[in-house]
Structure 1
Amino acid sequence: MSDILDKIVATKKIEVASCLQKISLANQRGQAEANNRDALLKPRGFIQAIENKISAGKAGVITEIKKASPSKGILRNNFVPADIAQSYENHGAACLSVLTDMDYFQGCNAYLQEARAACNIPVLRKDFTIDPYQVYEARAIGADAILLIVACLELNQMKELEACAHELGLDVLVEVHNAPELEQALELRTPLLGINNRNLKTFEVTLQTTLSLMSMVPDNKTLVTESGILSHADVELMRNNQINAFLVGEAFMRATDPGTALSELFF
């Protein structure tokens, strides 16, 4: 694990312990299950939304709502999650990814709730999930999918978290950066596999990461390329290699209108 990931995971353990003091696991689970019975809050089908776009011959784009990052600081001052969500949906996004980590990304659960309430597309809770409590919390706040980052989890942890997510009807995006991580990710049931082109140790980005690992991904998985998609040439490079699902955040967050930036880059 990289230094920054070590710090984030250590902080996350403290955060989970603190949250447990405020809202019990039983209460989070109860709210999660109540949401599953609510027509407006039940899971929207994150993976299906991506596959529907791809089946229609389009790019399946997961568009990110992210105020800041540890490496770049504040990305967007005019930060209104509901407006950004609507803009993304209106311009063809398959799904949203909303940062909820407060300490390192200046996110919060309310941003996810505001974004989801403003649109009809599925929402990924983008956070550092290390404990089942966070899975119940994700569904309790309305998330349709969670992220599991192989670099900060053991395989048995990932299997436990994935099983918990699937029990609640949540989809899972599992994220890797290298071959050993990819081998572990393939032990999971989820068909959605993300390759992060950003090295979390150095924060350097290269699309070669996806291109070098793609041959290891079986046909029954949907491959998402994450980070570093900045130009039409980048999109074309990936689509020419039969990679049709993308997660893009920073490029859109810096644009005057994120949705317009989405349609200009992909559609």
Structure 2
Amino acid sequence: EDYQVFESAAAGADALLLIVAALDDATLARLLTLAEDELGMDVLVEVHTAEELGRASEAGARIVGVNNRDLHTFEVSLETSVELATRAPCGSLLVSESGLRDAADIARLRACGFNAFLVGETLMRAERPEEALRSLVTRGGDA
């Protein structure tokens, strides 16, 4: 809701996450406009399906996060990012989220047009997270 966006900005947040699956079209567009145009925040608009990507595009999303994890089944597939990259709005910044295991995954998605990557579980499970991150960045094409 609007007040949460205002609270985030007042707390010093530079960015926020809007999950398309959790919002109707009017709310998505309103919150995106409020955060970006009125408060100067960056907004990561998260999608998982082509339909959600279309809704994000219609709302004017500039930063699109493709969640490779299906939030209904919790199954993870990088093919979600590969497929949706071809449908993303021209000029949008693309973020691939979840399921990235190694530098090869990042290199593959970078070749599909992704600009940034959200990596969590791989780093949390790594015995030496700093080395895992270094490997992802250097071998994944400066992710």
Structure 2 match to 1:141: 11
Q: Distance in 2 between matches of 1:141 and 1:260?
A: 33
Give, in angstroms, the shift of residue 256 of structure 1: 4.7
Query: 1:160 aligned to 27, 30, 40, which one?
Result: 30
Residue equivalent to 2:79: 208
Q: Which runs of 5+ in 2 are unaligned?
A: 139-143
Query: Structure 1 residue 265 and structure 2 residue 136: aligned?
Result: yes
- CA shift, 1:241, in A, is 2.0
Give the corresponding residue for 2:141: none
- Given the two structures, how large is their TM-score scaled by the length of structure 2? 0.88
Aligned-residue RMSD, C-alpha: 1.5
Aligned pair partner of 1:230 in 101, 120, 130? 101
1:37-186 to 2 correspondences below 5 Å: 131-166=1-36, 167-186=38-57
User: What is the deviation of 1:218?
Assistant: 2.6
2:122 equivalent to 1:251: yes
The Cα offsets for residues 102-161 of structure 1, whole Å up to 9 and x where unpaired, read as: xxxxxxxxxxxxxxxxxxxxxxxxxxxxx1111111112221100000001001001111
1:245 is displaced (CA, Å) by 1.4
Between the aligned partners of 1:230 and 1:153, the Cα distance in structure 2 is 30
Distance 1:259 1:169, change over 3 A: farther
Moved more, 145-154 or 133-142: 133-142
- The residue type equivalent to 2:27 in the other structure is Q
CA shift in 2, pair 1:140/1:259, >3 Å: farther
2-structure distance, mates of 1:162, 1:139: 13
Superimposed CA distance per residue, residues 32-91 of structure 1 (whole angstroms, 9 cap, x where no aligned partner): xxxxxxxxxxxxxxxxxxxxxxxxxxxxxxxxxxxxxxxxxxxxxxxxxxxxxxxxxxxx
The alignment partner of 1:206 has SS state of coil
Change beyond 3 A, Cα 1:149–1:140:
same
CA-CA distance at 1:242 after TM superposition: 2.7
SS of structure 1 residue aligned to 2:71: coil
SS in 1 for 2:58: coil
Gap regions ≥5 residues in structure 1: 1-130
Distance 1:197 1:260 in 2: 24
Tell me the residue number matched to 1:36: none
Quote how far apart the aligned CAs of 1:257 are: 5.0
- TM-score w.r.t. the length of structure 1 is 0.49
Distance 1:239 1:165 in 2: 28
Contact 1:147–1:175, Cα closer than 8 Å, also in 2? yes
Larger Rg: 1
* Distance in 1 (alpha carbons) for counterparts of 2:42 and 2:115: 18
Q: Which residue of 2 aligns with 1:191?
A: 62
Partner of 2:92: 221
Count of paired positions: 137
Report runs of 4+ in structure 1 exceeding 6 Å deviation.
Answer: none
Q: Residue 241 of structure 1 corresponds to which residue in structure 2?
A: 112
